[in-house]
Amino acid sequence: MTTPPPGYGQNVPPEDQPGWGAPPPPPPAPGYGQAPGYGQAPGYGQAPGYGQAYPAAPGYSAPGAAAPQLDIATAVRSVLTQYANFTGRARRSEFWWFYLANFLASIVASIIDQVIGVPLFQVVVALGLLIPGLAVGARRLHDIGKSGWWQLIALVPLVGIIVLIVFWAQDSDPATNQHGPSPKYQAAGGYGY
């Protein structure tokens, strides 16, 4: 077996290579060697105005900020005061808060019926909230620009209710449509027309 040359297997630099043991080079100047005016200044070196939003077109203003969501009490009061009103528009928050309150009232009525042993309260609640439920459903569909008759699609097994839930979950149309101005954007200051 032969013996390795001196320095083999050790971290010893070859004598003919400069830099081993020499001090590190100085750090680069600011801008990493770029000419003045380049680098990551505000706008990343772009011309003024580049990359900024375009101003609104003359005669047009975008929809204002949406009005705050309704709370559950306001939503239920709004739906019940418009008990059989199938015209106009209803916001998403009004619709979903009412259906949550409807669901909770049905649970409470069911519990009361179990306690007394007669299915009386559940029937009264279901019949009492049927018309306002259909009315707010129609107004919700009006809010996205659809006819209230689209509620009949729920009669198609499985697919119908899924389509209806997708419609009900869509955001309001900010513009005024054939059913009136948007309750969401009108309350926040109007659409700008």
**Mean pLDDT estimate for the chain:** 80
> How open is the CA angle 130-133-135, to the nearest 5 degrees?
110
Task: Indicate whether 60 pLDDT > 50.
Answer: no
The model's confidence at residue 191, banded by pLDDT at 50, 70 and 90, is very low
**Over residues 24-40, mean pLDDT:** 58
Give the closest residue to 106 by CA, choosing from 96, 91, 121: 121
Helix 121-143 vs helix 92-116: angle between axes, to the nearest 10 degrees? 170
pLDDT at 193: 37
pLDDT at 17: 57
Pair 138, 130: CB distance under 8 Å: no
**Over residues 81-89, mean pLDDT:** 94
Domain positions in the chain are 72-169
Task: Indicate whether 133 pLDDT > 80.
Answer: yes
The model's confidence at residue 63, banded by pLDDT at 50, 70 and 90, is low
Backbone angles phi, psi at 111, to 5 degrees: -65, -45
**Over residues 45-74, mean pLDDT:** 63
pLDDT at 76: 94
Pair 151, 160: CB distance under 8 Å: no
Please indicate whether residue 188 or residue 154 has the higher confidence score (pLDDT): 154
DSSP 123: H
What is the Cα–Cα distance from 71 to 60, expressed in whole angstroms? 32
What is the Cα–Cα distance from 134 to 150, expressed in whole angstroms? 11
